[in-house]
């Protein structure tokens, strides 16, 4: 599994659409990760994957916590 996945929103044909990485992140948030923590402002969230690895979600970017 990747250690960092960054998505982008693209303006195309008058619409804002997610790129394939945004769709991958969305799928992982629904099917792979369990939320374990969130910052007070809600912008940063921590998730645990099925292997016990901790990931941080920052808007359109998710990174494995290597600490």
Alpha-carbon 17 to chain mean position: 16
Which tokens is 16 given? 């804002």
Full-model pTM: 0.77
The model's pLDDT over 18-64, given as tens digits with 9 standing for 90+, comes to: 999 999 999 999 999 999 999 998 889 999 999 999 999 987 677 88
The model's pLDDT over 1-15, given as tens digits with 9 standing for 90+, comes to: 568 899 999 999 999
Dist. CA 39–CA 67, nearest whole Å:
18
Q: Residue 2's pLDDT is what?
A: 62
Element (H, E) at 48: strand 44-48
Q: Residue 23, CB half-sphere, CA atoms under 13 Å: how many? A: 5
Dist. CA 52–CA 46, nearest whole Å:
12
């Amino acid at each position: 599994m990747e250690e960092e996945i960054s998505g982008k929103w693209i303006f195309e044909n008058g619409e804002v659409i997610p790129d394939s990485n945004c769709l991958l992140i969305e799928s992982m948030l629904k099917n792979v990760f369990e939320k374990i923590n969130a910052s007070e402002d809600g912008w940063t969230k921590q998730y645990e994957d099925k292997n016990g690895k901790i990931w941080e979600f920052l808007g359109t970017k998710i990174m494995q916590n290597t600490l």
